[in-house]
């Protein structure tokens, strides 16, 4: 099991992503001081506590998690669209518009 303190920092960052914005797994890893730990962020999202806005964390190319991750194909996209996240014609998030800048909140590195 990874460092619970690291998971806590990942969850704190996820909670800080504002409505209408998204962050990538790699972006959260970088903000936690572990720039090569995008997969670890994904693992943390799979074990996240209820109520955390995990749907706001996406892949680096703007694509969504696998269809079963949020209870059904297309549900994550619907949740993000309901918050005002902008999508491209290919179904990926328009990161140029909807990526969180991370300036609202940061977590110190270990």
The catalytic site residues sit at 54
Query: C-alpha 77: how far from its chain's center?
Result: 13
Strand pairing category for 23-24 and 57-58: parallel
The whole-angstrom separation of Cα 110 and Cα 99 is 25
> Radius of gyration of the chain from Cα atoms?
13
- Helix or strand holding residue 21 (H, E): none
């Amino acid at each position: 099991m990874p460092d619970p303190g690291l998971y806590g920092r990942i969850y704190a960052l996820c909670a800080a992503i504002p409505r209408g914005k998204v962050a990538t797994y790699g972006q959260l890893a970088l903000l936690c001081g572990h720039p090569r730990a995008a997969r670890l962020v994904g693992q943390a999202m799979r074990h996240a506590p209820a109520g955390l806005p995990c749907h706001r964390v996406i892949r680096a190319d703007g694509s969504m998690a696998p269809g079963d991750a949020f209870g059904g194909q297309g549900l994550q996209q619907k949740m993000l669209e309901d918050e005002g996240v902008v999508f491209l014609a290919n179904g990926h998030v328009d990161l140029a518009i909807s990526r969180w800048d991370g300036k609202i909140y940061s977590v110190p590195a270990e």
